Structure 1
């Protein structure tokens, strides 16, 4: 029932305000995202935020940019007037944002922004020449104070794999927030790991093994310490996009739970579907739907509870394109 309620209310996700169509950019414009507003808004309860506006910069305003040397924290200064330094103000509003928004399950960011850019934001040498690339000031603060929060640029979600990966992370983090963080216990932690096992395996086998070993001894550690360690490792592992090879490995493990329940011909059909996916002949939805059909008929409670089979709403069609 809690899951259904969360679905009706929408999963809380932060978003750069300009992507919502708000006219908050330096030139008074916006960057309205059709995908966010016409597709994801049916599932996510967006909470828009513009760190530059919150830091007291008006609309319109002088553009700002990152300035600094390689291997040092860049400053955020005015493009025309370098004496306009908003670094400390952005740090303050970013940290205040995190303190007030621990309930978020993800954040969708504006590409290339000196505050909200996820990566490859230009950093200029103090002499005005381009130097290197970094993340925006707000993004660096999110990573520093809220490292487990799933982040993605709206523009990068044009890539089907990155889109599916981000939304998978949002739903997995939502599961954690509702089922573990809301009522912390060693049992809740173990149950979370149990149902996320094959999703974790599909993203990073080494993390799947390491976290399993860690949990075997977790009761000897303080609960909050065990939860923090697990969540950090889990979200970092999911941050690695799964490949056809790693998906095929997870699919084979799911198939292993059916080997005694299906006849030889059916097993061969399932093996062929997995191999066709691994070789790039079909999308992930093909072997998943076949496996789910037989898992519903013959699977144990354990395999039926695996989030890997339904990590996000089927209606989003995310596995039809990877």
Structure 2
């Protein structure tokens, strides 16, 4: 059992992605982003489900087979390992309560989240329409857990979104570990105001309304809140959403900046909206003004620092 540790952000990962020689051919699919960048800030919990169910390496490859509408995992020798992979997924999901995210190997018949090749039982044709057996069990059992494939993490927007969700869930897990109270819930939501707004303004408002009366049912409302929060953060924040937030933040400095400074900030936000500058540009300028003109409410906003800046995730979005 991987119990939650507030001092460590733990992310599950397909063993091959950190260089373990666990693939069917005895090789690996080492991810540079995971091993060289993310590993500096998180603790990986590696697992290869195919090894976990007793298959060795090297081993016969596995295929997903569509047999009369049922998805089966079958080795090249004809061995059906579907139920063993499903059981592994259920068992590991029960142990993974302390994780804050999971990175899976793309296209894998056990770990792929989408577009896994499925072969027709007749032997005629195939289509990229499946989900890995192990991955499907994790996705079903752990709906709040941020899951992503290694290949999709090459996309700067998807990468930033995944890491944002990992850090947000860990923050929530720390809150639960400390103890839920109405006051702490309100403070938590207040800190996430602008991050949630960037992803979906209406959802942010709905989450605020959910917490408007915490005189009863705190535990139940907390469960509904984190479900809604993670769903909101799973929606990719585009330039329109970020621009709306940046303009809101700009308003806090309206009476404190010179005309030249206000024009520079407005121009930088406009250039971001037009795709000329990355998000980091207006964020950096706002941070600078926040240092010059301290504001306790803005200082607590997760939007300014949703994850370690050294990951450089806002350079590419």
Residues 1:300 and 2:295 are matched in the alignment:
yes
Partner of 2:135: 139
Partner of 2:32: 34
Query: What secondary structure sits across from 1:251 in the alignment?
Result: helix
Structure 1 contact 20–31 (Cα < 8 Å) conserved: yes
Deviation at 1:161, TM superposition (A): 1.0
Counterparts in 2 of 1:163-182, with a 5 A limit? 163-182=159-178
Partner of 1:260: 255
CA gap of 1:320–1:131, structure 2 versus 1, over 3 A, is closer
Residues 1:283 and 2:278 are matched in the alignment:
yes
Partner of 2:148: 152
Deviation at 1:17, TM superposition (A): 0.2
Gaps in structure 1 of 5+ consecutive residues: none
Selected match of 2:93 from 98, 121, 130: 98
Structure 1 residue runs of 4 or more that deviate by more than 4 Å after TM superposition = none
Structure 1 contact 258–299 (Cα < 8 Å) conserved: no
CA gap of 1:69–1:131, structure 2 versus 1, over 3 A, is farther
Partner of 2:229: 234
Selected match of 1:78 from 75, 78, 92: 75
* More displaced 10-residue stretch of structure 1: 211-220 or 53-62: 211-220
Deviation at 1:181, TM superposition (A): 4.3
Partner of 2:65: 67
Gaps in structure 2 of 5+ consecutive residues: none
Structure 1 contact 257–299 (Cα < 8 Å) conserved: no
Partner of 1:18: 16
TM-score, scaled relative to structure 1? 0.91
Query: What secondary structure sits across from 1:65 in the alignment?
Result: strand
Show CA shifts across 1:229-287 (max 9, x none).
Answer: 11111111111121111111111111122223223332221111111000011111110
Partner of 1:313: 308
RMSD (Å), alpha carbons: 1.9
Residues 1:271 and 2:270 are matched in the alignment:
no
Selected match of 2:203 from 192, 207, 214: 207
CA gap of 1:181–1:254, structure 2 versus 1, over 3 A, is farther
Partner of 1:247: 242
Deviation at 1:143, TM superposition (A): 1.4
Q: Distance in 2 between matches of 1:80 and 1:298?
A: 69
TM-score, scaled relative to structure 2? 0.92
* More displaced 10-residue stretch of structure 1: 240-249 or 276-285: 240-249
